[in-house]
Structure 1
Amino acid sequence: MEDESPLSQGVGVKVLEATLLSALKMLDVGKWPIFSLCSPEELKLIRQACVFGSAGNEVLYATENDEVFVLGMNCSGCLGTGDMQSTIEPRRLDSLCGKKIACLSYGSGPHVVLATEEGEVYTWGHNAYSQLGNGTTNHGFVPCQVSTNLVNKKVIEVACGSHHSMVLTSDGEVYTWGYNNSGQVGSGSTANQPIPRRVTSCLQNKIAVNIACGQMCSMAVVENGEVYVWGYNGNGQLGLGSSGNQPTPCRIAALQGIRIQRVACGYAHTLVLTDEGQIYAWGANSYGQLEPDDHLTVAQSLKKEFDNPETADLKFLVDGKYIHVHKVLLKIRCEHFRSILNNDDEIIEMSEFSYPVYRAFLEYLYTDNIRLPPEDAIGLLDLATLYRENRLKKLCQQTIKQGICEENAIALLSAAVKYEAQDLEEFCFRFCINHLTVVTQTQGFAEMDHDLLKNFISKASRVGAFRN
């Protein structure tokens, strides 16, 4: 299996986004644009929060009195509100209110697994492979407790693969369920597992202290510092020195004599932390996951493509100059190019876009990231829309959200409307409403398109923005 970007899959990097953040008032929530939808009064009450979703545009948070709310996009049903409606207003999850949240994990399927401080487990989201652990394949749009085989067990840690789930109990037992095409539930077969079952085999008499899931693999650290792995291994992410799948837990022999404290999984790579503070990594490395300095190699190779056009096999005409990138990379990364690239001499004229925008597009194809100001991100959003590159559109919207201010809010709102970016449009509109006095005094508001102005005033009126 080809290694995809962790960011595009919601596994691995999502360990960061789906980690429960405590003492939120001590954190800089500005890096999470979703919190801009909350009023200052609402932010003051937040005690814990978890940002998740493919673009960090969904959030679950608990208040100081243990009420639980969700907010954001809900196209996957992972907000747990019982419907598929997105919301820019916090919605309360009554089934979780009053329960202290201990941990939460988000699987890119997508689904959510949550544990309370009492050790109860709740799941919701997509369930085509029984990843919710309720014995069915029916999707669950509200949090439901998972009790089968977990009665009298206190769960202290949860982890999600793309379509399977895993929990760790206080007595060191590991339970798994869900999709099992590569042996990721550790049962010894490849049959899907509809309910939680304890992982035994080599873990039978071991006490686990930490767990983690990759897209289709699972791992556990036991109390003596050994690491056991199972599931998909096509990129060597199990660290066994081979690329064969492993249907039951197997100890990583290469770590003999090294005491591991924690393990973390990306989409197709793995990292562990030793008791001496060292980090070991293995698995896929196509994005420089395994070496801290590999981003320099990526940047150098990108520069080489710009500086040495004869080394590339695809030509782009930008502002009268040819820029070259690898045709194979474009075929892999951009759906639109798959349908239009038929020969090595294909030339695509993109002169309507500025050089910074176009270069940012090429850099995205190499690195999965974009680095440009929000004003240029509007042009990149246009380019992403043209080539139907949905993940890039999401990154552009994130960049625009992070760079919004009173002076550019109207321009960004106009761009969101133009490119039919509904999530961004709602975000910009809410920002304008929250800063209405200042925004209406800007040059952008004075030069606002007539139809956009008319719609803005009408919508603002409906949400009560002009009430005294």
Structure 2
Amino acid sequence: MEAESPVSHGVTGKVIHTTFLSALKMLDVGKWPIFALCSQEELKLIRQACVFGSAGNEVLYATENDEVFVLGTNCSGCLGTGDIQSTIEPQKLDTLCGKKIACLSYGSGPHVVITTAEGEVYTWGHNAYSQLGNGTTNHGLVPCQVSTNLINKKVIEVACGSHHSMVLTSDGEVYAWGYNNSGQVGSGSTANQPIPRRVTSCLQNKIAVNIACGQMCSMAVVENGEVYVWGYNGNGQLGLGSSGNQPTPCRIAALQGIRVQRVACGYAHTLVLTDEGQLYAWGANSYGQLGTGNKSNQSYPAPVTVDKDRVIEIAACHSVHTSAAKTQGGHVYMWGQCRGQSVILPHLTHFACTDDVFACFATPAVTWRLLSVEPDDHLTVAQSLKKEFDNPDTADLKFLVDGKYIHVHKVLLKIRCEHFRSVLNNNDDDVIEMSEFSYQVYRAFLEYLYTDNISLPPEDAIGLLDLATFYRENRLKKLCQQTIKQSICEENAIALLSAAVKYEAEDLEEFCFRFCINHLTVVTQTTGFAEMDHDLLKNFISKASRVGAFKN
């Protein structure tokens, strides 16, 4: 299932009917091994998920009811359960339940940073470098809100490096804190930053629209498409044409005239996507993660040819050396580290989303963003037809049955039913009166033509069986027989047997007969048996005798 962007900018009396997928899909998390610990019932409820940790052995997920659960090895208390005990059973995080997680990122410790739909920031986990932003270096065993300097700010995006954290506010400000040995918090020094501090310098009067972190570097895209970078640069991951660290934000001059929309950081390499769907990469390249066809590091932005089609999404994660991209045509490519191998040029995968690249090819198998289900308003052909049944706004024909109208479409009836093909061919009437069958039965028949399914209680399906026989609808006849079988009991067995004989439904007749023989004592004491047609009774007794029903 494709995830959405983490930025804020699922017997008798029973009616048998078509069941379509709801607008909210189930999240497909089966490609990440950690989810094998969850039951199928739990997996069906997941609407958001993030797999993280040094081995992909920690997971946080939210359900359709906005309840938040975690499980895994719990390194440095990164599960937020209040202790450092591992768990193979999902544990609920009461602090976050009902909060609606909008964006999530994680560090190498690991530590976790989230923002809620309300713009609040919560952190927990490893904190030796103050990456939780609470002013201490004590590990955070439970999620705690980060309020210093953010109390009146609405945070819309979060990003983590190995041991530093960064957030983007709704008014385009960037705040950073944590480990700063290479200038990755952008303060102009290399002293660790214990609480959130606004990143200024060249960003002072700029409105940022996107942020990302490599292991020890930071990036921001501003609204005019410029990219600003700071932090560690030993592999050229800042794209400045040098390998010197940068303690404050610096614009990438080589991208002059190019309008960047998004930036993504790997362990020590960087990808950007332009407004024209072009992709550029730079930085470390020992696994081919730049996609340039070699393994040489690159300190300037280099164009990457993915496809003739426009690129609409780029993906990288600071904990791996893998890159991915998706084109407008829906093709997903990957390059870089692939299960121990090096892929030096974009390679077309069989996946439908970039998230699956990291589940199946990256080491460790993590998620590069918060996986999230998005509403799917697209209707299949079958769903569209079902939706139009009995719709007076689009119908061009009405059946009048028992004083009630059923709205249908002539062309569909002619396509789906031989009877209507001949009846409606030279018929210009807008209303056709029907008296041979009841409203309930005829409506079920017409709905079947739109859905391929019966929407009728099993005990009322005998009338539909009569109609199916009359119209020579053999598939409908079989469906009716299956439905009637579901409703059989001692009281109605003879009535159903009589109907099966009347409508020449041989399979149903044999089924009902076997049921009567297996429950002979009770069936012969019912009203239906007492009122049984004489010829049918004679045939029943004769056949029952032949199968040994009356042996002592």
Output the TM-score relative to the length of structure 1.
0.57
Comparing 67-76 with 426-435, greater Cα deviation is found at: 426-435
Residues 263-272 or 375-384, more deviating: 375-384
Given that residues 176 and 199 in structure 1 are in contact (C-alpha distance below 8 angstroms), is that contact kept between their aligned partners in structure 2? yes
**Cα offset, 1:98, TM superposition:** 1.1
Alignment counterpart, residue 502 of structure 2, candidates 397, 414, 418: 418
What secondary structure does 1:250 align onto?
Answer: strand
The 1:420/1:262 distance shift into structure 2, 3 A limit, reads: farther
Classify 1:120/1:404 alpha carbon distance in 2 versus 1 (closer, same or farther; 3 Å): farther
Does the 8 A contact of 2:13 with 2:458 survive in 1? Answer: no
Say which structure, 1 or 2, has more relative contact order (CA 8 Å, 6+ apart).
2
**Separation in 2 of the partners of 1:190 and 1:15?**
69
Deviation at 1:109, TM superposition (A): 2.3
Report if the CA contact (8 A) 1:20-1:103 is conserved. no
Q: What is the RMSD of the two structures over their aligned residues, measured on CA atoms?
A: 21.1
Higher helix proportion, which one?
1
Query: How many Å separate the matches in 2 of 1:261 and 1:35?
Result: 33
Say how many residue pairs are matched: 468
Shift of 1:203: 0.3
CA distance in 1, matches of 2:3, 2:213: 16
| Post-superposition offset of 1:36 | 1.6
The 1:394–1:312 alpha-carbon spacing in structure 2 relative to 1, beyond 3 Å, is same
CA gap 1:276/1:339 in 2 versus in 1, 3 angstroms: farther
Stretch moving more, 179-188 or 292-301 = 292-301
Is this contact kept in 1: 2:10–2:45, CA < 8 A?
A: no
CA distance in 1, matches of 2:491, 2:58: 26
Instruction: Select between 30-39 and 231-240 the one with higher mean Cα deviation.
Output: 30-39
SS of equivalent to 1:359: helix
Q: Which has the higher mean CA deviation after the structures are superposed, 204-213 or 384-393?
A: 384-393
The separation in 2 between residues aligned to 1:392 and 1:235, in whole angstroms, is 68
More deviation, 33-42/280-289? 33-42
State the 1:129 CA deviation.
Answer: 0.7
Give 1:430's match in structure 2, choosing from 499, 502, 514: 514
1:44, distance to aligned residue in structure 2 (A): 1.8
Paired residues of 1:9 and 1:267 also in contact (CA < 8 A): no
Quote the Cα distance in structure 1 between the aligned partners of 2:261 and 2:31.
29
CA deviation string 1:89-138 (max 9, x = no partner): 11000110110000100111221101101000000111111000000111
SS of aligned partner of 1:17: coil
Q: CA deviation at 1:28?
A: 3.1
Displacement after TM superposition at 1:47 (Å) = 1.6
Higher alpha-carbon deviation: 337-346 or 187-196 = 337-346
SS in 2 for 1:380: helix
1:248/1:447 CA distance change after superposition, 3 Å? farther
Displacement of 1:328 in angstroms is 73
Change (3 A) 1:223 1:4: closer
Is the Cα–Cα contact under 8 Å of residues 74 and 84 in structure 1 kept in the other structure? yes
1:460–1:363 Cα change, 3 Å: same
Distance in 2 (CA, whole Å) between partners of 1:463 and 1:72 is 62
User: More deviation in 401-410 or 413-422?
Assistant: 413-422
Compute the displacement of 1:325 (Å).
73
Quote the offset at 1:295 in angstroms: 37
8 Å CA contact retained: 1:131, 1:178: yes
Q: How many angstroms does 1:76 deviate by? A: 3.0
CA distance in 2, matches of 1:137, 1:429: 78
Identity fraction in percent? 92
Deviation at 1:162, TM superposition (A): 0.6
**Deviation of the 1:75 alpha carbon:** 2.8
Is contact 1:158-1:168 (8 Å) kept? yes
TM superposition shift of 1:334:
70
Deviation at 1:171, TM superposition (A): 0.2
Q: Distance in 2 between matches of 1:324 and 1:386?
A: 22
1:24-78 Cα distance to aligned partner (Å, 9 max, x none): 9444322112222111221222221111112222111111111111112213321
- Following the alignment from structure 2 to structure 1, what is the Cα–Cα distance between the partners of residues 83 and 500? 25
Q: Distance in 2 between matches of 1:317 and 1:384?
A: 19
8 Å contact 1:66–1:97 — kept in the other structure?
Answer: yes
**Structure 1 residues 27 and 9: CA distance shift in structure 2, 3 A:** closer
Cα distance per residue 1:255-289 (max 9 Å; x no partner) = 00000000011111100001111110001111111
Q: Is the 8 A contact 1:184 1:231 kept in 2?
A: yes
Structure 2 residue runs of 5 or longer lacking an equivalent are 290-372
Relative to structure 1, the CA distance from residue 24 to residue 334 in structure 2 (aligned partners, 3 Å threshold; closer, same or farther) is closer
The reply on whether 1:85 has 2:168 as its aligned counterpart is: no
Q: Distance in 1 between matches of 2:412 and 2:288?
A: 16
Q: Per-residue deviation at 1:330? A: 71
Question: SS in structure 2 opposite 1:218?
Answer: strand
Separation (CA, whole Å) in 2 of partners of 1:454 and 1:86: 72
Contact 1:7 1:54 (C-alpha < 8 Å) held by counterparts: no
